[in-house]
Amino acid sequence: EVQLVESGGGLVQPGRSLKLSCAASGFTFSDYYMAWVRQAPTKGLEWVASISYDGGSTYYRDSVKGRFTISRDNAKSSLYLQMDSLRSEDTATYYCTTGITTGGDYFDYWGQGVMVTVSS
Amino acid sequence: DIQMTQSPASLSASLGETVTIECLASEDIYSNLAWYQQKPGKSPQLLIYDASSLQDGVPSRFSGSESGTQYSLEINSLQSEDAATYFCQQHHDYPPTFGSGTKLEIK
């Protein structure tokens, strides 16, 4: 059974940093693109970043470029999102997902999500 | 970025009925369209990818179709467990973009 378990969320002040982690199991982690998708409270879904099988390629939405860094450790079957210079508009539930790439990605497995609140 | 215009924002239907949700892409996405179902307090679940391919385990009453840049999700024989919000998403190019969602209520 595929499992994606996020951790590392919480309340953080604007301008500070936070690092999310995602522990994956039940599949061969290195066979999948991975991605983070977020959802602001009562809002829709928004793709944040994706990373290729070996981490050699990364992709970001414009609003997080230069502030967020996606990375992975295939030996540990883990995905990460380092979030720096956080803004109030980054407040959301962040989902770890597996990605199937076709030019863009679609997302076939999702974690339960972790809440990030950016507020003073 | 490719814009996905989803309609309606909400709809209400009775058990056993058929409903259709639509998404219009701002440019050709060559059938690279996925549909997700999200129940309250839960993570989204993939229903359909490549416009009409059913994800494993998804009931056959869900189906996807396309006409040009217009994509549709049809749900036949509505069940109570189909009450949820549905999102479309283009996977043709980066950044992947989602529609705004359709909230389906079962009467």
Question: For B60-80, what is each residue's pLDDT tens digit?
Answer: 999 999 999 999 999 999 999
pLDDT band at residue A92 using 50, 70 and 90 as cut-offs: very high
Predicted confidence at residue A73, as pLDDT, reads 98
CB within 8 Å: A45 and B89: yes
CA distance B70 to chain A (A): 18
Which pLDDT score, from 0 to 100, does residue A108 have? 95
Q: What percent of chain B has pLDDT over 70?
A: 100
pLDDT at residue A98, rounded to an integer: 96
Give yes or no for residue B45 having a pLDDT over 90. Answer: yes
**pLDDT given at position A42:** 87
| Cβ–Cβ < 8 Å for B50, B30 | no
According to the model, what pLDDT value does residue B9 have? Answer: 97
CB A16 within 8 A of CB A120: no
- Going by pLDDT thresholds of 50, 70 and 90, the confidence category of residue A32 is very high
Residues A116/A18, Cβ–Cβ less than 8 Å: yes
Q: From CA A94, how far away is CA A80, in angstroms rounded?
A: 11
- pLDDT value of residue A101: 86
B47 and B38 in contact (C-beta within 8 Å)? no
Strands A33-39 and A92-101: antiparallel
Residues of A in contact with B46 (CB under 8 A): 106-109
pLDDT of residue B3: 98
Q: What is the DSSP string of A93-108?
A: EEEEEEEEESSSEEEE
pLDDT of residue A80: 98
The two three-digit tokens of residue B13, written as one number: 């239907």
Q: What is the pLDDT of residue A104?
A: 82
B37 strand-pairing partners = B45, B86
Using the Cβ of B26 and the Cβ atoms of chain A, whether some distance falls under 8 Å is answered with no
What is the pLDDT averaged over residues A82-94? Answer: 98
* B96 touches A: beta carbon within 8 Å: yes
Asked if pLDDT for residue A103 goes beyond 90, the answer is no
Facing residue for A108 by CB, picked from B55, B94, B98 = B55
Task: Tell if the CB–CB gap between A59 and B99 is shorter than 8 Å.
Answer: no
pLDDT of A107 > 90? The answer is yes
Assess whether the previous peptide bond of A41 is cis (omega < 30° from 0): no
B43 touches chain A (CB under 8 A): yes
Q: What is the pLDDT of residue A83?
A: 98
Mean pLDDT, chain B, whole residue set:
97
**pLDDT beyond 90 at B50:** yes
Print burial letters for A88-117: b (CB count within 10 Å at least 16), e (below 16).
eebbbbbbbbbbbbbebbbbbbbbebbebb
**Which residue matches tokens 């924002």?**
B9
Q: In what order do the strands lie in the sheet with A68-73?
A: A3-7, A18-25, A78-83, A68-73
Give yes or no for a contact between B100 and A111, defined as CB atoms under 8 angstroms apart.
no
In this structure, which amino acid lies at residue B69? T
Residue A65's pLDDT is 98
